[in-house]
A and B are shown apart, each in its own frame.
Chain A
Amino acid sequence: MDLFVFLALLQDGITTGAIYLLLAIGLLIVFAVTRVIFVPQGDLLAFGTLTAAALQSGTVPGTLWLLDGLSALALIASLFAGRRAALRGLVAWGVYPLLVTLAAIFLAPRQSPVAAILLALAIVTPMGPLIWRFAFRPMGDAPVLTLLIVAMALHFVLTGIGLVLFGPEQASAPTITDASFDFGILTVSGQSLAVLGCCAVLVIGLSWFFGTTIYGKVLRASASDRLGARLVGIDAGASGALAFGLAAFIAGLAGILIGAITPLSYDAGFDIGLKGFVAAIMGGLVSFPLAAAGAVLVGVLESLGSFWASAYSEVIVFTLLIPVLVWLSLRGGSTEDRA
């Protein structure tokens, strides 16, 4: 292996590592606030890619009708939950989907990449709160294991829906930039720089959000002590919806970014999500910096593993979990205690 190959592998590993990092962040946010291991995040990633791809090719994506259908149900449900909830529901589940639908029908035939990306994000993001509203909120204080089983089941439901909406073939999301840059012997594509750029912007944006805004502080309060947060008047339902919305947005963004580099099919998200999960586990499902380091490690290790022993690259990545889990269990303390 010469220097060129090593650098090329490193660059490839860091790009995919950045995607795993995004998913790890989404998983951490959702887990900290709601104790749900958000398995279907990977499916939302695939939805992001395929929705943007459909819009780019001039068709109205099937996920739009899914959004409309679920929103309609949420709207009906909110009408029976008091005047304030009804008003909020009307805006969130009535006006918003209507605007997105109109925009999608109007903009899809123009096949503009920018519109496709923005609309895909606008369609995928509300899926998070909708999943929370219908699958997890009614479960209340169920144990982590029960929530995990429901999350797993949801993954299969969403994969099935993905097959119906998009068919079995792969599709590519529009690229943000087609430029490429020469760094000595190495050529780096603008798209992989865009992935890293988006990742950096998101991390900085999130730290600002959690550090200064009231909603960020609400999420942090819910994450550090759920019961305490409720005692001081924080609405658990609203913070859950916010966490799921953030995770869905991140998943959609990750799907659009990676989908421009490699085409994805409806069922590709689970594996990517699983690797993001490995990274999140490295952070003990609490630490963002450790998860970030884990994500880059997973990406680079996967890339090097694919070069040396391609048949075992996944084995290598998932074996990484064993020492981490041993260390976490030796350090003591179950995640359940914090809930």
Chain B
Amino acid sequence: MKARLFAVATAVGLLGASVAAQAQIKIGAILSISGPAAAMGVGYKGAFDFFPAEIGGQKVEYIIRDDATDANNAFTIAQKMISEDHVDAFIGPSLTASDAAVAPLANQAHVPMIAMAPYEYDPAKQPYTFSDAQPLPLMVSVVFKYMQQKGVKDIGYIGFSDGWGDQVLAATNINAKADGMTVLTDERYARTDTSVEAQALKLISVHPQAIMMGNSATPAALPVVALRRRGYKGEIYGNHGIVSPAFIKVGGASAEGVVADTSPLVVYDQLPDSNPIKPVAVAFMADYAKKFGAESVNPFAGYSYDAMLLLQNAIPTALKAGQPGTEAFRVALRDALEKTHEMIGVSGIYNMSPTNHNGQDARAAVLVEVKDGVWTAIR
């Protein structure tokens, strides 16, 4: 009897020792590296090459998986990461639909996750979900403040006939109301449309002082070209979805003067020295651009990098509460993330609270303008 007890005790002891030896922080990253969102996924993934191998004196293992731009895949991957890999935190997913799929799992298993796509949720119901991508109304509000300075009173809206067009319109309506502007018309087109002549004619016929666009990537150049060709003289504003060199390449001379908001990281070298984000962004992007080329500057790498910074900031506090791999550690990590205060990232400055799990403010958006064929920061 005694011998058996001894054997069990030894076994338990050995087991404990082996757990202690394995105690390293495991971070699961779910990214859309292939599929329709691949162009962004490449940016999200690139940042991982510059993550520290050790945080708070603990080894960190980053497990990166591709959901192929499919929320169902993200769900399965998250399940596996929780039950087999026993991850301590999630970075991502990088797709809004995947965020929505993974969030219930993460909250049930008490694994903090930092969503990297604009994702709307209630922190009270999903206490383990955080997000480091700028909420759309925040980004659009910066554009509207600028319009207000310019004395714009009425605007015409043109956007995609999909979810993105709806979201930007909603943000546009909220901000227009707050700033005392009128939205005269709501025109829509599909990403794959071959002509927006009709929509451009309609916009011009209501004589708006300025036009706000709810579109993204190169198809966003379509209405700009059509409006300018039809002789529209007013200002054209866009959102961060259009800020890429490809937009200017397709838009050509018509793109000149288009104003949009973007993540500070995108114009990291043009930020004023007084901006606290500048040194952090320059330090990260210098390495990133050296490895992937000057053309590779993109906001998405910044969201991955900020997720890591947020975790790096919170992990030392959490380590006091428990070993990595335990629930105590994950709960403490969540609590620490929620107390994030004035943390400077490359996409913004974070101040979290129980009701605000994003924590960014207007400093997370800078205005840019197409000048001589390049996106130039407006000071």
A residues adjacent to B (C-beta < 8 A): 1, 5, 8-9, 12, 15-16, 19, 163, 167-172, 258, 261-265, 267-268, 270-272, 303-307, 310-311, 313-314
Cβ-defined contact, A271 with B192, below 8 A = yes
A-B contact pairs, 29 of them (CB 8 A): A9-B198, A16-B194, A16-B195, A169-B218, A169-B246, A170-B217, A170-B221, A170-B246, A170-B250, A172-B250, A258-B194, A261-B194, A262-B193, A262-B194, A262-B195, A263-B221, A265-B219, A268-B194, A271-B190, A271-B192, A271-B193, A272-B192, A272-B194, A304-B198, A307-B202, A310-B161, A310-B188, A311-B186, A313-B189
Cβ-defined contact, B198 with A310, below 8 A = yes
**B138-165 interface (Cβ within 8 A of A):** 161
Is B187 an interface position by the 8 A CB rule? yes
Tell me the bound Cα distance from A1 to B195 in angstroms: 19
A264 shortest CB reach to chain B, Å: 7
Contacts of A8 in B (CB 8 A): 197, 201
Cβ-defined contact, A170 with B195, below 8 A = no
Indicate which residue in B189, B194, B201 contacts A9 across the interface (CB closer than 8 Å).
B201
Indicate which residue in A16, A169, A267 contacts B192 across the interface (CB closer than 8 Å).
A267
Contacts of A307 in B (CB 8 A): 198-199, 201-202
New contact pairs (4) apart from A258-B194, A262-B193, A314-B190, CB-CB < 8 Å: A168-B38, A168-B217, A171-B250, A314-B161
Contacts of B192 in A (CB 8 A): 264-265, 267-268, 270-272
Is B9 an interface position by the 8 A CB rule? no
Closest to B222 in A: A262
Indicate which residue in A169, A264, A313 contacts B217 across the interface (CB closer than 8 Å).
A169
Cβ-defined contact, B194 with A310, below 8 A = no
A96 shortest CB reach to chain B, Å: 31
Indicate which residue in A19, A267, A303 contacts B198 across the interface (CB closer than 8 Å).
A303
Closest to A263 in B: B250
B residues adjacent to A (C-beta < 8 A): 36, 38-39, 161, 186-199, 201-202, 205, 217-219, 221-222, 246, 249-250
Given contacts A168-B38, A168-B39, A270-B192, A263 and B218 within 8 Å (CB-CB): yes
B34 shortest CB reach to chain A, Å: 10
Contacts of B219 in A (CB 8 A): 170, 265
Tell me the bound Cα distance from A132 to B128 in angstroms: 54
Indicate which residue in A270, A303, A314 contacts B195 across the interface (CB closer than 8 Å).
A303
B352 shortest CB reach to chain A, Å: 34
Cβ-defined contact, B187 with A310, below 8 A = yes
Closest to A2 in B: B205
Residue of A16, A167, A168 with most chain B CB atoms under a 10 A cut-off? A168
Tell me the bound Cα distance from A32 to B36 in angstroms: 34
Tally the A-B contacts, defined by beta carbons under 8 Å: 92
Cβ-defined contact, A9 with B188, below 8 A = no
Cβ-defined contact, A310 with B38, below 8 A = no
Tell me the bound Cα distance from A314 to B202 in angstroms: 17
A117 shortest CB reach to chain B, Å: 18
A241 shortest CB reach to chain B, Å: 29
Tell me the bound Cα distance from A168 to B192 in angstroms: 12
Contacts of A1 in B (CB 8 A): 205
Given contacts A262-B222, A314-B161, A306 and B198 within 8 Å (CB-CB): yes
Residue of A170, A310, A311 with most chain B CB atoms under a 10 A cut-off? A310
Indicate which residue in A19, A171, A305, A311 contacts B194 across the interface (CB closer than 8 Å).
A19
Tell me the bound Cα distance from A262 to B190 in angstroms: 13
A19 shortest CB reach to chain B, Å: 7
Indicate which residue in B161, B195, B249 contacts A311 across the interface (CB closer than 8 Å).
B161
Tell me the bound Cα distance from A167 to B186 in angstroms: 31
Closest to A19 in B: B194
Contacts of A306 in B (CB 8 A): 189, 195-199, 202
Contacts of B38 in A (CB 8 A): 163, 168
Closest to A264 in B: B194
Closest to A167 in B: B39
Contacts of B222 in A (CB 8 A): 262-263
Closest to A42 in B: B192
Closest to A11 in B: B197
Closest to B198 in A: A306
Tell me the bound Cα distance from A334 to B120 in angstroms: 50
Tell me the bound Cα distance from A15 to B198 in angstroms: 13
B32 shortest CB reach to chain A, Å: 12
Closest to A262 in B: B194
Cβ-defined contact, B246 with A12, below 8 A = no
Contacts of B205 in A (CB 8 A): 1, 5
Given contacts A168-B39, A168-B217, A170-B250, A310 and B189 within 8 Å (CB-CB): yes
A230 shortest CB reach to chain B, Å: 40
Given contacts A170-B250, A310-B189, A261 and B195 within 8 Å (CB-CB): yes
Residue of A264, A271, A311, A314 with most chain B CB atoms under a 10 A cut-off? A311
Tell me the bound Cα distance from A53 to B246 in angstroms: 14
Closest to A269 in B: B192
Contacts of A261 in B (CB 8 A): 194-195
Contacts of B201 in A (CB 8 A): 5, 8-9, 307
Contacts of A311 in B (CB 8 A): 161, 186, 188
Cβ-defined contact, A303 with B197, below 8 A = yes
Tell me the bound Cα distance from A109 to B371 in angstroms: 29
B221 shortest CB reach to chain A, Å: 7
Contacts of B189 in A (CB 8 A): 306, 310, 313
A47 shortest CB reach to chain B, Å: 15
Tell me the bound Cα distance from A9 to B194 in angstroms: 14
Chain A to chain B: the 5 pairs with minimum beta-carbon distance, closest first: A306-B198, A170-B218, A311-B188, A307-B198, A12-B197
Contacts of B193 in A (CB 8 A): 262, 271
Tell me the bound Cα distance from A19 to B189 in angstroms: 18
